[in-house]
Amino acid sequence: MEPDHTTGPSCCSGMPQENASPCTCSTAAVPPGIRTTDSEITLANRLDHFLARWGFNREGHRVEPGLFRLGNPAPDFPVFASANYTLSFDALRSALAGTDAWILVLDTRGINVWCAAGRGTFGTEELVRKITETGLASVVSHKKIIVPQLGAPGISWPEVMRRSGFSVEYGPIRARDLPDYLKSHRATPAMRRVEFPLKDRLVLIPVEFVHIALPMIVVAALLWFLAGPVAALAAVAGIIAGTVLFPALLPYIPTQDLSTKGLILGLVIAIPFARAFATNPALPGWANVAGALTALLIIPAVVAYFALNFTGCPTYTSRTGVKKEIFRYVPVMALMAGTGVIIGIILGASRFMGMI
Amino acid sequence: MFNSYTETRLKYYAGKCINCKRCTQVCPHAVFAEGKDHVELAQPASCMECGACALNCPVQAIEVQSGVECAWAMISAALRGKDMDSGECSCGGSESSCCGPSQEQSCGCERK
C-alpha cells in the first residue's frame, strides 16, 4: 500500500503523456474519452498524498472516473479497475510501472477501494455502468477485468458477468503485489491476507489528530482556567494517548477488545497525574484522594472511548464484535467518566468557595 | 474474556458449495480454505463480516450480515433510537472519506 502517487483532484494531473486525448475537466456528463496516464509519481502527486493523509480538502483527492490508457496498451492487454481516489489510482498506476494496461476508474466519490466497496459505491452497479459508459467491450478484445480483492465486498462477479459479459478476476489486495501476481495470475496466500502493520496504523494518525486538535485546545484551556495546568496537561495527555499512542501501540496493548486496550492505556497515562494530584501538599487529604480519583476515572474512560471509535480502522473488527463492545463497555465508560466529573466538580466547587 | 470478536454471523452451507473457490480468493482473513469436494470453513472467528464471500458465491452457500463496523455510527444510531444495524456509516456521509485517507483500510470514521 505504498501511498505513492497520483493526480491531484483534476483529471488532468498525473497524465503527462503527449498523446493524451484532450482532457476535458468539465464535470459535464459527456461520455469521457479515453485518457492517458503513466506510472510516474510527481512531486505534485506526493503533495496531494500528503494533504490527503492530513485530511486537508477531503473531497478533493479525486481522479476523473473513466477509462485510462496506462502507457500504450493493445486491445488484448489487461484491464484493471480502480477507485477515483488519488491514493488508490496512484498506487495502481505506479505499481504497474513498465506495464501497458487499461485502467477503469470507478466513481467512488474520492473514497478508497475498500471503504467504497463497503458502502457499495465501488460495486457491481458502478462497475457495470462504467463498463457500458466507456464502451469497454469495443475498446478491448477480451472480456476480463482485474478488480482489487478488497473491492469484492461491493462486487458480485456473477452479477457483473450476467449484466456486462465481463468476468471479474480478483487481483491481490495490495497494488504493489501486482507485478508478482501478473506473472501467473495467481495470488499467494500472503497477497490475499490483509494486515494492519505499523506503517498503515501510523498513516491514520494525522487525520485523527487533526479532527481532535481544536477541541483538545479548548478543553485544555478551560481546564487550565478551572483546575490548573496539571489538569490541562492531563486532558492533552489523555487525548493524545487516545488518538496517537493508541493506534501506534495497538497490537502491543494486552487484551483483544479495543475498549479494554484503551482502558489499560488510559490507566497507565492516568497514574502519574493521579500521583501528582494525590501529593499536593496545599490540599487536605480527602481532596488529594478526590483529585487522584478524578484522573483515574476520567482519563481511562476518555482513552477507551477514542479506542472504541477506532474500531472502523483495524482490519479485523466485525460488526458483531463492535456491537458487543458497545454494549459491554460504553456503560462502564459513561459511569467512570460521570463519577469522575462529579468528583471533579465537587472538588472545584469546594476550592472555589474557599472550603479548602 | 475481553474478546468480543470470537463470534460472527457467518453461515456456510457446505452442501451447496460447488468448489469454485471464489470465497477463498476474496476473503481478506483466510476464513475459508480449499478442501476436497468443497471449501472448508477454516477460521470462522477471523471473519470481519465484510460480506465479500457471500456476495461472490454463485450458489448462495454463504450468508453473512455485513455492515460498517463503525462504533460512532452505531452509537449515534442507538442514541437516536434507531436500529444499530440499519446505521449507515454516517461517518462520511457526504463523500468525505469515512474511510480515512488510508487507501485500503477500513472505515476510520471521522467523528464530528
- The DSSP string of B7-55 is ----EE-GGG-----HHHHH-TT--EE--SSS-EE--GGG-----HHHH
Among candidates B30, B48, B105 on the partner chain, residue whose Cβ is nearest the Cβ of A200? B105
**Chain B CA closest to residue A84:** B103
Query: Could you tell me if A147 and A59 lie in one domain?
Result: yes
A250: left (phi over 0), alpha (psi -120 to 50) or beta: alpha
pLDDT-derived band at B73 (thresholds 50, 70, 90) equals confident
* CB contact (8 A) between residue A150 and residue B28: yes
Domain of residue A211 covers 200-352
- What is the structure's pLDDT at A32? 54
CA–CA gap between residue A287 and residue A294 (Å, rounded): 10
User: Using DSSP, how many helices (H) and how many strands (E) does chain B show?
Assistant: 3, 4
A189 lies in the same domain as A145:
yes
- Coil, strand or helix: which one is B64? coil
A67 and A133 within one domain: yes
Q: Best of A88, A322, A324 to disrupt the B interface by mutation (most B CBs within 10 Å)?
A: A322
Give the per-residue pLDDT at B8.
Answer: 87
Residue A179 shares a structural domain with residue A290: no
Measured CA to CA, the distance from residue A92 to residue A107 in angstroms comes to 16
pLDDT of residue B96: 33
A101 plus A69 within the same structural domain:
yes
Say if A23 falls within a structural domain: no
Cβ of B108 within 8 Å of Cβ of A207? The answer is yes
Task: Determine the distance in angstroms separating the CA of B82 from the nearest CA of chain A, rounded to an integer.
Answer: 14
Do A208 and A174 lie in a common domain?
no
Q: 486525448: which residue's cell?
A: A21
Domain of residue A49, CATH code: 3.40.50.11600
Cell numbers 505513492 label which residue? A4
Domain for residue A135, yes or no? yes
Domain B11-63 grouped into CATH 3.30.1490.100: no
A219 and A177 share one domain: no
pLDDT category of residue B63 using cuts at 50, 70 and 90: very high
Domain assignment of residue A5, yes or no: no
What is the spatial distance between Cα A218 and Cα A216, in angstroms, rounded to a whole number? 5
Rounded Cα–Cα distance for residues A115 and A166 (Å): 23
**Angle formed at CA A225 by CA A220 and CA A231, multiple of 5 degrees:** 50
Give the range among A229-238, A239-248, B19-28, B74-83 with minimum mean pLDDT: B74-83
Provide the whole-model pTM: 0.83
Mean pLDDT throughout B8-13?
93
With CA atoms as reference, the chain B residue closest to A53 would be B101
Q: Which residues of chain A have pLDDT under 50?
A: 1-31
Domains in chain A, number: 2
Domain termination site, one of A136, A161, A194: A194
Claim to verify: residue A171 and residue A207 sit in the same structural domain = no
Residues A214 and A247 placed together within one structural domain of the fold: yes
The residue of B48, B66, B103 whose CB has the most chain A CBs within 10 angstroms, and thus the best one to mutate to test that interface, is B103
**Is residue A165 located within the same domain as residue A111?**
yes
Distance (Å) from the C-alpha of residue B30 to the closest C-alpha of chain A?
Answer: 7
Question: Same structural domain for residues A205 and A114?
Answer: no
Domain closes at, from A163, A194, A225: A194
Nearest-CA distance A72 → chain B (Å) = 27
In a domain? residue A304: yes
What is the domain partition of chain B in residue ranges?
A: 11-63, 69-112
Q: Does the beta-carbon distance from B104 to A156 stay under 8 Å?
A: no
Q: How far apart are CA A158 and CA A161, in angstroms?
A: 5
> Is residue A17 assigned to a domain?
no
pLDDT at residue A24, rounded to an integer: 39
Residue A7 lies in a domain: no
- As a whole number, the mean pLDDT across chain A is 89
| C-alpha span between A52 and A49 (Å, rounded) | 5
Last residue of a domain, one of A144, A160, A194: A194
Residue B100 neighbours by CB under 8 Å, 6+ apart: A115, A204, A207, A208, A313, B107, B108, B110
Mean pLDDT value across residues B41-46? 94
What pLDDT digit, counting tens, does each position of A203-254 carry?
Answer: 999 988 898 999 999 999 999 998 889 999 999 999 999 999 999 999 999 9
In a domain, A54, yes or no: yes
Interface ipTM > 0.85: no
**Quick one: cell of B21?**
473457490
**Same domain for A160 and A288?**
no
Task: Give the separation between CA B64 and CA B11, rounded to whole angstroms.
Answer: 6
